[in-house]
Amino acid sequence: MFTYSVLIALSLLAFSGGVVQAESASSPASIATKTCQQLQSSLGPSTVQTSSGPRYSIGANAAWSTFNDEVNFSPTCIVFANSTSDVQTAMTAIYHNGADYAVQSGGHSGMTGWNTIQNGVLISFINMSAISYDAGSNTITLEPGVRWGDAIDFLEPFGVAAVGGRVSEVGTGLLLGGGLSFLSPSQGYASDNYVSLDVVLVDGTVVTATVNNQHADLFKALKGGGNRFGIVTKYVVRAVHTGTEQDKPFLGGIFTYPNSSSDALLGAFAHYAYQINDKNAILTNEIRTTWQNGSLDFSHTVVMIYNGTQASFNKTFAEFLSIPSATSLIAPFSYHDLVNAVSFPDGLGTVFGGIALGGVSAHSSFDNYLEVYRLYSNFSATFASSPDIAFTLLDFTTVPKTQIQAGCEKGGNPMISNPATNGFNEVLFQVSYNEGVTQAPADVEKGRQYVLAKAPITPGLPLFLNEADANQQVFASYGNYKFLKQVYAKYDPTRFNVGHTQGPLGL
């Protein structure tokens, strides 16, 4: 008869070719277990939680996309970091042992496996969410666990804001992907507004990077380099004076259009990116497709925002205003209102894909826009009978020339090398699955990848990392791709990061 201890021992063995073998001491699972044991000893069991810890499930299920929750990924342990020192200790052990790892800040990622890990160490920033404002230097300090809604709420009484997310639930990981903001047309990408960054490198070394110190190359690489260059534990960024809740400097227009206006709207987006160069104007569009019993419902919502007068609003968005709308609303907004106006549903598995389309003149063809919409529509129609999909999205966000110039004036970024680059549109293709769906069905995923493979992308324009697919070669689309590879080789010469955590391809 087997004793209890023998049964336990056998449960730790794996069958291979009919022979019972012990798990290798060099397997990812064994290495992770060893690393977690060391970290529990050095940081304490309240900071480092295994599956039996009281807070483990909170951390394991904190990702926005349920494809990244505990059903699919169970970290060997979660380090609930309380300080840069905790992260330094964690990365030192991870690097020394060769463990796999992941980092989670806000968790608002459409890349499966980027902010969680199986058989590895998850570093969670749930406990690091401090925010402060220094009026003397006009800077904002953010810890990596901050959500943009919390930052906006905290900073509103001071009449300032960081150039950050357009959705309150999004976290600071947005900055590492470049970041698009309601303030971007005048201030550049969100990451263009860094002042200094505290960074834990892969070997546990801590450095502070600024635009003009010995780590200026790292500072620039982190303006769109994602998680490949280290773990940022403190962001100091420029503050923008946006006013308090009582101030309503933004004139916001929310318009819905019938599907029959699709071609006209796509043309308007193509023309706007080419001809409008106004730092006070913000433009974005959401095409959402839902269905019930195979019947498709396409809804077009265009958000037009202007920091100025009604006359300027009407002039800037004239082409959109000339298209008959189903509903319209124009009202004054505070910056606080804008960021809190939109939210994403929780409890859904979500995947992203990115496309970049250049602007075209009123006398040029916008066939690429029409083709992207055709591919999206065909995908939605093909899978309209699927019980798994909650909805699909095709979103356009204009990156105007003013944004590109503002970023270049603040030291540049990896994404755009030429300050003369014309305005363009970043396009998000999103598929969200119903609650309870734990992974994308193979046929749907094949169809989604077909759209991304066939969608025309304007050469020379960067894909937006925060809204790209995990398999897309985002870095290769950057204007400063060569620079990015050189910086990576300098700060991670053993290529530990690309070997032990999921992230953007191409380094």
Distance, in Å, from the CA atom of 176 to the CA atom of 199, rounded to the nearest integer, reads 12
397 - beta bridge partners?
284, 426
Helix (H, G, I), strand (E, B) or coil at 228: coil
- CA-wise closest residue to 190 among 215, 218, 222: 222
pLDDT at 77: 98
Split into its structural domains, the chain has a count of 3
Low-confidence ranges of the chain (pLDDT < 50): 1-21
Helix, strand, coil shares of the chain as percentages rounded to 5?
A: 35, 25, 40
Residue 294 lies in a domain: yes
Residues 226 and 267 in one domain: no
Q: Domain residues for 90?
A: 27-124
380 and 474 co-located in one domain? yes
- Which residues does 245 contact at the CB level (< 8 Å), separation at least 6? 156, 334, 336, 337
The pLDDT of residue 347 is 78
With respect to residue 9, please indicate whether it lies within any of the assigned structural domains: no
Instruction: Please give the Cα distance from 346 to 236 (Å, whole number).
Output: 29
- 114 and 177 part of one domain: no
Question: Which residues does 37 contact at the CB level (< 8 Å), separation at least 6?
Answer: none
Label residue 14 left, alpha or beta by phi (over 0 means left) and psi (-120 to 50 means alpha): beta
pLDDT value for 23? 60
Tokens of 33: 């277990």
Please indicate, yes or no, if residue 503 is contained in any of the structural domains: no
Contact between 174 and 164 under an 8 Å Cβ cutoff? The reply is yes
Domain limit, last residue, from 244, 265, 299? 244
In angstroms, how far apart are the furthest CA atoms of the chain? 87
Report the CATH number at residue 199: 3.30.465.10
Q: Are residues 119 and 140 in the same domain?
A: no
Report strand pairing: 121-124 vs 131-134.
Answer: unpaired
The number of beta carbons lying within 10 Å of the beta carbon of residue 313 is 22
Which of 91, 124, 157 is the C-terminal boundary of a domain?
124
200: left (phi over 0), alpha (psi -120 to 50) or beta: beta
Q: Is residue 455 part of a domain?
A: yes
> Are 193 and 216 found together in one domain?
yes
Both 99 and 202 in one domain: the answer is: no
Give the CA angle between residues 176, 177, 183 to the nearest 5°. 95
Which of 244, 279, 310 is a domain's end point? Answer: 244
- Residue 38 located in a structural domain: yes
**CATH of residue 120:** 3.30.43.10
Closest CA to 462 of 504, 502, 503: 504
CATH number of the domain within which 295 lies = 3.40.462.20
Q: Give the HSE-up count for residue 319: Cα atoms under 13 Å, Cβ half-sphere.
A: 18
**Residue 327 falls within a domain, yes or no?**
yes
Residues 379 and 468 in one domain: yes
Count, residues in the chain: 507
The span from the CA of 214 to the CA of 205, in Å, is: 15
Residue 488 lies in a domain: no
**Whether residue 378 is found in the same domain as residue 470:** yes
Counting beta carbons within 10 angstroms of the beta carbon of residue 247, is it exposed (0 to 12), middle (13 to 18) or buried (19 or more)?
middle
User: Which pair of structure tokens corresponds to residue 120?
Assistant: 């590895």
Residues 276 and 374 in one domain: yes
Same domain flag for 167 and 268:
no
Among 390, 388, 376, smallest CA distance to 291 is for 390
CA distances from 186 to 71, 282, 430, 462 (A): 42, 9, 27, 19
What is the spatial distance between Cα 65 and Cα 77, in angstroms, rounded to a whole number? Answer: 20
Let me know whether 260 and 395 are in one domain: yes
84-116-505-427 Cα dihedral, nearest 10 degrees: -100
Query: What are 119-139's pLDDT values in tens digits?
Result: 999 999 999 999 999 999 999
Kindly state whether residue 505 falls inside one of the protein's structural domains.
Answer: no
Structure tokens at 100: 């796999």
| Helices 262-275/367-382 angle, 10° precision | 140
Q: Are residues 196 and 108 in the same domain?
A: no
